[in-house]
Amino acid sequence: MRPPAEQLPGRHTIMERHAAYPGFRAFVAERRGSFLAPTEVTGFAYGFHGARGQWWHDVVHQALTDLGGPDHAAEWLDDPFEVAELHVHPEHQGQGLGRALLTSLCEGRRERTVVLSTLDRRPDSPARRLYRSVGMVDLLTDFEFPGGGPRYAVMGAAFPLAPYAAAPSSP
């Protein structure tokens, strides 16, 4: 994501808080280096069990309640695994690494649903296509979190995630 340098201390604080949440799980993908080339991080993902009192959870719960009522919000957020971050270095995108990180992160989870937010620049972005390919649906679109910033789509799926179905090969 390459946030501005002045945002890094705040991002570190948020990630440290997330790491203390129940059910925290994280993965880092790396390309092994050699004597002359260092190991390179190519992607990372993490998530945790979402609950009331967590900022993202409470903001999204309210928005889902406003949209479809309390039962609608409960359907998605009463027992969620929240994917907080999933990033793949641009040079390594389109090679299945994001899918591998997401499926590893979600494998064996006991929660009922998985939810996340992703930039809502285009409904057909690679990230949105990935999330849809595992069964996620749009819960909120063109959503602005408090404090401004870019618009997001909030997406969710029931566990287990749908298995990946590769496109049929041409004859």
Catalytic residues: 131
Q: How many CB atoms lie within 10 A of CB 118?
A: 17
Query: What amino acid occupies position 137?
Result: V
Distances from the Cα of 17 to the Cαs of 27, 65, 108, 135, in angstroms?
17, 26, 23, 29
| Token reading at 73 | 């919000």
The span from the CA of 19 to the CA of 12, in Å, is: 11
